């Protein structure tokens, strides 16, 4: 029996069928549970492309002061290391109470 083709990668957060806020919540819970991570590792964990989806979610989290960039291993936003801020800890705990 042939293996079906994988769906195409989303070219924008909207193409996932999920809201940007929901995707940001998933990224925030990932950083909360796993610690400071490079953007690409967050994308790999969520199984979504960094450039078109996860980067936008992390940008939202930065604008809301839930995460911050703590450095970079190389050039490019996907290598930025994201760390959770105090406000992010509180939000992540609230999210995990609702859904782990």
Q: Which domains does the chain have, with CATH numbers?
A: 15-98 (1.10.10.10)
What is the value of pTM for the model shown? 0.89
pLDDT, tens digit, 9 for 90 and up, residues 28-83? 999 999 999 999 999 999 999 999 999 999 999 999 999 999 998 788 889 999 99
For 70, the token pair is 């703590």
Q: Which of 64, 100, 62 is nearest to 81 (CA)?
A: 62
Eight-state DSSP code of residue 79: G
CB neighbour burial string for 26-60, b if at least 16 within 10 angstroms, e if fewer: bbbbbbbeeeebbbbbbbebbebbbebbbbbbbeb
């Amino acid at each position: 029996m042939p293996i079906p083709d994988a769906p195409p990668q989303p070219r924008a957060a909207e193409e996932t069928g999920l809201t940007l806020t929901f995707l940001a919540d998933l990224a925030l819970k990932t950083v909360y549970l796993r610690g400071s991570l490079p953007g690409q590792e967050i994308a790999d964990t969520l199984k979504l492309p960094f450039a078109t989806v996860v980067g936008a979610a992390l940008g939202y989290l930065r604008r809301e002061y839930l995460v911050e960039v703590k450095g970079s291993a190389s050039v490019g936003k996907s290598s930025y290391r994201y760390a959770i801020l105090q406000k992010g800890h509180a939000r992540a705990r609230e999210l995990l109470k609702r859904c782990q």
